[in-house]
Structure 1
Amino acid sequence: MSDPQEPMQEQAVITPEVAEPTPEPSLPPPPKRKGPVDSGTLSTLQSLLGTIAIAVFVITFIVQAFTIPSESMEKTLLIGDYLLVDKAHFAEGPAHWFMPYKKIQRQEIIVFRYPVHPSMYFVKRVIGLPGDHVRLIDKKVFVNGIALNEPYVVYSRPFDAFRDDFPNGPRYSFEIDAHWASEMHTLVEDHQLIVPDGYYFVMGDNRDDSSDSRYWGFVPRENIVGRPLLIYFSADHRDTPPPTGTMGDKLWNLALRLRQLPGDIRWKRVVRLVR
């Protein structure tokens, strides 16, 4: 028998450890199969090509930007006016079937390729249509015997017999094109110039300072590009020297133009319809 006085020995209590689950090692995602062209790149390319196609279509058939370099259309159009020209208005050929084509009207403003040098563009007002009889008497324009109402016209010089009594003034002017000088009087009947079929007689609104049909002849229908629709910007740079000379001079003049630009902007002419 055991001694009742002998203390009892404590038995060690073993607490089992709680094992935390070990995370499984993460596996890398399976590689994506790449096609011949990434879809994002293809979408960007398609958008870019679409934008280019739309821009080419607009420039070719709808509108084109031009700037006014001379004073021949003052005060309707000023030097430094930037225009959007509506090319669809007078569209012919294939474009005629899906464009809002309209016939050219007398006293409309048009942009056209200069017949003497077709690489140049002019802007003038239509005075005579095919078949019209045109003459000037003391600066006043008559078409088919009726005086035109021209509130847009500006006169700036004294009377000149060739310019202001056309075509019945002197046969020669130092400004007249030689070919036109020999042809013009073959088209005069009863003191009136007859506009041939397929051609237009045009003049500038600044009537005394305009190189127009009086000096170089008619505008062929195929040379007409469109009509000015909108002045989207206008600035008067006449007091700023042009960027000429050495590269340093050009950079200096350009910096000067940019510095003066805020004061040169004609704010009342910005985003203005041409009439």
Structure 2
Amino acid sequence: MWKVVAASVFMLLFIFSFVLELGMVPTASMERTVLVGDHLLWLKLPYGPNIPFTNYRLPQLRAPKPGEIVAFRSPIEPDAIYLKRVIAVAGDVVEIRRSVLFINGAPLPEYYANVRANRRWSWQENISPRRVPAGSLFVMGDNRDNSEDSRYFGPIAVKDVVGEPIVIFWSYDAPSSAWLDPNWLHQVRLYATALTHVTQTRWRRTGLLLCFR
């Protein structure tokens, strides 16, 4: 019996060290695709996961492609993981004219984007042409008017990508302020409340695949 338990523990450690990761979405930057309170499972093996207890990483097996959603280390908050969509890759020229996104001079069809004129943050509506450097990605949130992304902090390094979200395994309707509170006791209370308020669980989002969105 103990061999079965040990093997199971080893398998779980291996999977969550090298293959999969759990994550939670605390902000609205990817709405309508990903909502505040969505809990995700993301695939990290293709992007060179860290080897536990070392400063080394496995080799990266593939680079993200335009249109894919990626999780990456924030260039402005080193301990934070951001979730955005890849808009352009190295060599592409990105431009925004009156909230319309152009890649290499052609308008990019964006069925997923939530865009509206934003007078408060006019810098988001117009960006002069800029080429994405080698080894970099230009990323943006689907909720264009509520996202700090490459329009703000510039292209991100491919090496900072840590995974690709593949499925929503649970989604709970609570405001950003609830998920962003760093107090561990608050988080315990939040999840305890979720167990007793099942009507706030977004059941229709459970099992929703993100790798095709």
Please give the range of the TM-score, normalised by the shorter of the 2 chains: 0.7 to 0.9
Q: Distance in 1 between matches of 2:205 and 2:104?
A: 35
Q: Look up the match of 1:86.
A: 43
2:66 alignment partner in structure 1: 106
Once the 2 structures are TM-superposed, how far is the Cα of residue 255 of structure 1 from its aligned partner? Answer: 5.8
Q: Which residue of 1 aligns with 2:172?
A: 235
Q: Which amino acid aligns with 1:141?
A: L
Aligned to 2:53: none
Change (3 A) 1:244 1:129: closer
For the 8 Å contact 1:155–1:207, the answer to whether it is kept is: yes
Please state whether the residue corresponding to 2:144 is helix, strand or coil.
coil
Q: Find 2:149's aligned residue among 194, 198, 212.
A: 212
> 2:122 corresponds to which residue?
161
Kept in 2, the 8 Å contact 1:156–1:209? The answer is no
Aligned to 2:105: 145
When Rg is computed on C-alpha atoms for both structures, the one with the higher figure is 1
Distance 1:208 1:76 in 2: 14
Shift of 1:157: 4.9
Give the 3 Å change call, closer, same or farther, for CA 65–251 of structure 1 in structure 2.
closer
Offset at residue 252 of structure 1 (A): 7.5
Distance 2:187 2:7 in 1: 38
Q: Does structure 1 residue 61 correspond to structure 2 residue 21? A: no
* Structure with more relative contact order (C-alpha pairs < 8 Å, separation 6 or more): 2
Amino acid aligned to 1:69:
P
CA distance in 2, matches of 1:69, 1:110: 16
How far off its partner does 1:56 sit? 1.9
AA aligned to 1:131 is G
1:200-230, CA deviations, whole angstroms, 9 ceiling, x for partnerless residues? 1100000011010111122111110111100
Matches within 5 A, 1:196-275: 196-238=133-175, 256-260=193-197, 262-274=198-210, 275=213
Cα deviation code 1:135-175 (max 9, x no counterpart): 10000111111111101011255344311101x3xxxxxxx
More strand by share: 2
Residues 82 and 251 of structure 1, relative CA distance in 2, 3 Å threshold? closer
Change (3 A) 1:50 1:79: same
CA distances 1:31-68 after superposition (whole Å, capped 9, x unpaired): xxxxxxxxxxxx51x33332222112211221111011
Distance 1:86 1:258 in 2: 27
Which segments of 5 or more consecutive residues in structure 2 lack a partner in the other structure? 50-56
Contact 2:114 2:142 in 1 (8 A): yes
Question: Unmatched 5+ residue regions in structure 1?
Answer: 1-42, 169-191
| Separation of aligned partners in 2, 1:139 and 1:157 | 7
Q: For residue 95 of structure 2, give the secondary structure of its aligned residue in structure 1.
A: strand
* Amino acid aligned to 1:223: D
Moved more, 209-218 or 46-55: 46-55
- With 155-164 and 209-218 compared, the bigger mean Cα shift is at 155-164
**SS of corresponding position for 1:50:** helix
Give the Å deviation of 1:257: 4.4
